[in-house]
């Protein structure tokens, strides 16, 4: 279980460019559930998601993982935690240019003490399911936005992480792919994985276990399914 307590993030504090991206955010994410963060652009969803994923250090407040306050844990500990537990899907897709789709999926696995080629079959399965098998050898800049998003999805899932953090995962994909994404999230939950999604998509909200609505950096509403 992941909990946040009064989580606050202020960019450029004490300067004229100070931005309060999140303020006193309190949310709870149970294991094996789908949690949605919704809200208009600039409401702080991505910031909160990044803090939960331990890729952004909060200005104040606490993040508890299974009751343990990990907020000020070392950079090294956080990296290992992410390596073993978290899969990210970014709003801006964030694929590495100059590499093929398959390479983009395998590069994150280089930090494991394993031969990355062992994951190739698993990646191909996911590519097949997302219907871009024929594009695995293409450089990512040759792919459409939707295809890139699907590559990012494969990249996040290929390691079978316990927690999936997805930021607007359906924003660039077509109807059918979006449907597949929903299905996959559902299956992941059924397998006991924790899925946290920041989205506007009402269809995703339907399958969620808990929905937090954010406005101007704070949580304004919490809904249980």
Partner 1 sequence: MLKRHRNFFHYALDCLKKYKTRTFVVLIAFTIAISMLSSILFLKDGLEREAELSVSLAPDITVSYLQGGRVLLLPSSYIDKASEIKGVVRALPRIWGYDGKGLNTYTVRGLDLSGVEVDYGFSNLVKKGRFLVPEDAGTGSIVIGELLAGVLKVDVGDTMILLSESIEANRFTVVGIFSSETTIYTADLIVMPIDDARKFFKIPEGYVTDMIIYTDPEVPVDNVAAELSTMPNARVLTKDILLRGYKAAYGGRGGFLVTFWVILLSAVALVCFSQATIVGRESMFEVGLLKTFGFTTLDIIEIRLIESLILGVFSASLGMVIGIVYDIWFKAGIFAQSLLGWAFLPAEFHMPVYVSFPSVFSLYAVTVLPLLFATTVPAWLNAITDPELAMRRAAA
Partner 2 sequence: MTTMRKINLLPLVALILTIMVFALCFINELSWAALEQSEARKTVREVIGLPSIALGTNYGATRNPLLEVYSTALYDVPGGYCYIYTTSFIGWPMSDPNFFEKVPGFNFTAMKG
Binding site for partner 1 (CB under 8 A): 50, 53, 55-57, 75-76, 79-84, 86, 88, 92, 94, 96-99, 103, 107-116
Residue closer to partner 2 by CB (options 116, 207) is 116
Residue closer to partner 1 by CB (options 114, 183) is 114
Are 147 and 134 contacting, i.e. CB atoms less than 8 angstroms apart? no
Q: How many CA within 13 A on the CB side of residue 9?
A: 26
Work out how close the CB of 117 gets to partner 2 at its nearest, in angstroms, rounded to a whole number. 8
Q: Which residue has the tokens 């998601």?
A: 49
Q: Which residue has the tokens 């979006």?
A: 178
Residue 178 corresponds to which tokens in the numbers above? 């979006």
CA distance 64 to 75: 16
Q: Which does 137 bind (CB under 5 to 8 A by kind): partner 2, partner 1, none?
A: partner 2
Distances from the Cα of 98 to the Cα of 25, 95, 139, 201, angstroms: 38, 9, 6, 31
Residue closer to partner 1 by CB (options 50, 194) is 50
Q: Which does 117 bind (CB under 5 to 8 A by kind): partner 1, partner 2, none?
A: partner 2
Residue 37 corresponds to which tokens in the numbers above? 């963060």
- The residue ranges of DSSP E strands in 51-128, in sequence order, are 60-65, 68-69, 86-89
For helices 175-190 and 145-157, the axis angle rounded to 10 degrees is 10
Q: What is residue 222's three-state secondary structure?
A: strand
Q: Which residue ranges make up the site for partner 2 (CB under 8 A)? A: 100, 102-103, 106-107, 116-117, 137
Residue closer to partner 1 by CB (options 50, 148) is 50
Residue 43 corresponds to which tokens in the numbers above? 């409401």
For CA atoms 73, 69, 153, 84, give the dihedral sign: positive
State the pairing for strand pair 68-69/34-38.
unpaired
């Amino acid at each position: 279980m992941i909990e946040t307590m009064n989580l606050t993030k202020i960019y450029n504090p004490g300067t004229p460019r100070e931005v309060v991206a999140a303020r006193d955010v309190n949310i709870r994410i149970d294991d094996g559930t789908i949690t949605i963060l919704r809200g208009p652009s600039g409401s702080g969803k991505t910031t909160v998601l990044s803090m939960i994923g331990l890729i952004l250090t909060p200005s104040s407040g606490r993040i508890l993982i299974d009751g343990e306050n990990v907020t000020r844990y070392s950079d090294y500990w956080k990296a290992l935690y992410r390596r073993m537990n978290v899969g990210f899907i970014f709003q801006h897709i964030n694929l590495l240019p100059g590499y093929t789709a398959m390479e983009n999926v395998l590069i994150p696995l280089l930090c494991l003490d394993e031969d990355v080629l062992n994951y190739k079959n698993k990646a191909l399965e996911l590519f097949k399911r997302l219907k871009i098998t024929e594009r695995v050898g293409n450089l990512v800049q040759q792919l459409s936005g939707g295809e890139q998003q699907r590559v990012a999805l494969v990249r996040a899932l290929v390691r079978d992480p316990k927690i999936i953090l997805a930021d607007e995962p359906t924003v660039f994909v077509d109807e059918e792919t979006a449907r597949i994404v929903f299905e996959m999230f559902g299956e992941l939950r059924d397998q006991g994985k924790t899925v946290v999604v920041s989205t506007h998509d009402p269809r995703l909200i339907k399958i969620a276990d808990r929905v937090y609505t954010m406005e101007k950096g704070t949580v304004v509403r919490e809904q249980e399914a």
